[in-house]
Structure 1
Amino acid sequence: MPEPGAEATRPSKNAIELRNVGKSFGAGANAFFALKDVSANIGENEFFTLLGPSGCGKTTLLRCIAGFEEPTRGEILLYDQDIASLPPYRRPVNTVFQSYALFPHMTVGENVGFGLQMLNRPRDEIASTVNEMLRLVQMEELRDRRTSEISGGQQQRVALARALAPKPKVLLLDEPLSALDLKLRKEMQVELKRLQTETGITFIFVTHDQEEALTMSDRVAVMNKGDILQIGSPREIYNQPKHRFVADFIGDINFLDAIVTECGVTCQAEIVDVGMVEFLREGEIAVGQHITLAIRPERITLSAQARHPCRIENIVYHGTDTIYHLRLPNDDRMLARSQNSEGHAPAWQTGDDIGWAAAPDALAVIADNPS
């Protein structure tokens, strides 16, 4: 498993290509566009996550790849073969759903081998594959237990083993961890990434949980209203969001309205150095343009000597860190997060007038500032 936040190496070969995929329901003025010309390349042996709020189109896109929905337009290629018109059973793709759809009257081993039986695989091959899959998901000891007699986390492992048994080229996972409690969900995040790395199968994972996406993924596609807004590594999505929605959806963040001037960026009537020279040189942002500066709370430093004044309105203790709720001179609000040191009380108190600062590389520039 790669180090959290590490940059992912982009696979050289695509497992899935999405070319201007659209999906609409209804017709005419009543048509609803669940997907709007979605294009993306998903690499071989990649853990790729579709992340977004409910109704953004991520599950619809997954169902189009699986064959349960037919795109209204566009192409879906699996290793350069157009599969958009193929029925689900003819696609080398398997799906793990939110409800695991296990057979309660069957044992764990029988559930894992069921798909192979439907494919008329030889009996010895089925037995060997079931053994391999149960070892992979660490369920050998429960082979003869009925699935109605095991826990939710164990059922999830059985569903994964059953989906992996036919050795699909791509495994689709539609929020498979949503029914698990928090501690088990965190454990299964690590297990899923281990399984993907060990099997070498491309995983396409759907979730609305930002932590899941950042923890497991090689790359993340953030979706909203049927569009993919940004694709990148977890580090890129978190630290360099290109859209205000992406920045706001992933974790806590502060927004400051600003305007580009000849000297740099004016924010709260001050000039802020955010490395704007490169943006101006490349023509991405013009002088006079309104922009948004996005700053993560953990990148803010509080100090009595800092140049930007603020007042502490509230202090919230979170165990590992403390959140400071700040009010700025123009009445905007901001969050700052500092990691707690054992045995040390917070350096500041509610009502203190202090200052804040942030390094230039802590500020992401978002050009789609809403009016």
Structure 2
Amino acid sequence: MGSLKESVLNCSINTDDDDVFINKLNKLAGNNGEDTYSVIIQTLTSLDLKPGEAKKCWFEIISHRENISNTLGRKISLLATISDYFFSFEKSLKNHRIVEINAYEKIKKDSTHDDLTGLFNKAYMQDALSQHISLAKRHNTDLSILFLDIDDFKGINDTFGHHSGDIVLKNVAHTISQEMRASDIIARFGGDEFVILMPNTYKINALLISERLRKTIQQKTITIKGTTHQITVSGGVAGFPVDALKVKDLLNLADSALYRAKGAGKNSISLFKEDKRRFLRIKFNRPIKVKHLGFTRTRTLSGTSKNIAIGGILFENKEPLSIGAKVQVSFSIDKESDPLFLIGTIVRVETFGPHNYDIGMTLSFKEMEKTAKDEISKFLIQQSEDNDK
């Protein structure tokens, strides 16, 4: 409902002609269904009518405007018509209030936006999430959310005061607004927390977008009372429908992933991971070779695999790899077989000390020969059967 209200308000932007405004609203209703009429009447009069009743009132108002205009020989404003209509014909509808659209727009903005940052607020985000989840269900698409907060923000407030904290919040909010896509919805969720809704975005892609945002924020500096500070953020990503189907659950899971990122040392983005594996995963210790794709002269790194599944592989490496990097991993299933080449995307990097990194890679089967998938499947099934004996 929130997005429909925004759409109704948008129909009024740069539109002083009531005929144009009415045509835009009728077109909006044609594209979005009868619920639109309830929003139109609620927006203009504050009355909450059921869709069928609202539609009847709306077209009677338009007809009434035409009749009055023809009688007087001049155009009558829509708001004047609405007032006369409810006074003369629909006296049973009490307590209506005619709202001038620009005044309503200001009231609407005050109720949906955060005063400090200008971003949407928590209430608006929760409504938007509910709507977009419904759309994703209807169209069988993905969406992802990023739960983000500023590292060590309390220390900034305690050391420099809340005014300085506000400067940091506004700067981070501005960077997020500049970096995210036009289709993304950004809200200040409370305190130093931000939530970003990414429609039509699978969570692996959301992780890459979030990681790029994190790096951009880290690269910027903020001057507070004459001293320069580098601000970092941590975040958690969860996706619909792969992780959760409800708004509250999705937010909780992204928040859980955020705290995982905090526990890993801050200044990082974590994907929510269910304890139960989506795919059969087994321990798999083999020497491996790792190489970036697209660089013919890139040196080959040596590592050791830890576990493997149809969906990905986890390995140890002496050097970190960038999240989002496309890499090729090669290893042998057994001593007699030829090396197997896997291609995928780095989605996880954890540090356990100098020259000691755990690297998680999702596999891109579209980029590999079908035989690679078949070989891994056979190996996993065989290992599983051996373990059951």
* TM class, shorter-length: under 0.3
* TM-score, normalised relative to structure 1: 0.25
Structure with higher Rg: it is 2
Q: Which has the higher contact order (CA 8 A, sep 6+)?
A: 1
> Between Structure 1 and Structure 2, which shows a larger proportion of strand residues?
1
* TM-score, normalised relative to structure 2: 0.24
> Between Structure 1 and Structure 2, which shows a larger proportion of helix residues?
2
